[in-house]
Amino acid sequence: MANNATIEIDGKKYEFPLIEGTEKEVAIDIKSLRAATNGLITLDSGYKNTGSCESAITFLDGEKGILRYRGYSIEELAEKADFLEVAYLLIFGELPTSDQLNKFHTDIMNNSMVDEDVHKILDAFPKNAHPMGVLTSLTSGLIAFNPSSVNVDSEEEMYRAIVKILGQFPVLVAWVMRKKKGLPLNYGSKKLGYVDNM
């Protein structure tokens, strides 16, 4: 396979690199097309032939019905893995061992307490507000209760931040839905699984 693709316009040739994706698919990297040709762009109605990014996490080929996360088909993950296993895979790049999954679940459950003042934010929303809007606002609002920044170069700090948001998220989801239904707010149960607590 050649390393470049050549496009000829009005007798002038322009070369663009070919790149190979995780599934051995080949793409023409045209990010310099506009600059190289003084403004020429491509037209791809519906983006049916355009890759939007390079991703080590997701591969999608809608025409063939393929969706993979970190190399695993969505069908295989749906059949054989639970929510936290897939979350671990997406975050850390591999499926967890039994010990890693148990630690991940325990650490998440140990970080499930949400500051009681979040109730005040939730109470400010009307009962008929769209749940996604409320949940988005509450999730964004969590930064006010933990304003310290996370050192993204520290695996330990990143892990703590991950388990904290994963621990608090089911509580927020449950609170939003319970408020909508007029039910009292609670924290779920440590005896239940992650998704069950939602």
Residue 65 domain boundaries: 56-86
Distance CA 182, CA 170 (A): 18
Boundary (domain end) residue, out of 64, 86, 108: 86
In this prediction the pTM is 0.77
Structural domain contains residue 176: yes
Q: Is pLDDT above 70 for 91?
A: yes
Total structural domains within the chain: 3
Residues 21 and 108 placed together within one structural domain of the fold? no
Residues 62 and 45 placed together within one structural domain of the fold? no
Structural domain contains residue 92: no
Residues 128 and 170 placed together within one structural domain of the fold? yes
**What is residue 169's predicted lDDT score, i.e. its pLDDT?**
93
For residue 37 the two structure tokens come to: 């040709």
Residue 47 confidence class, pLDDT cut points 50, 70, 90: confident
Residues 106 and 131 placed together within one structural domain of the fold? yes
Structural domain contains residue 105: yes
Structural domain contains residue 110: yes
Structural domain contains residue 145: yes
Give tens-digit pLDDT for 125-138: 998 899 999 999 99
Dihedral of the alpha carbons of 95, 97, 102, 104, in degrees to the nearest 10 = -40
Structural domain contains residue 14: yes
Query: Which CATH number belongs to the domain containing residue 156 in this structure?
Result: 1.10.580.10
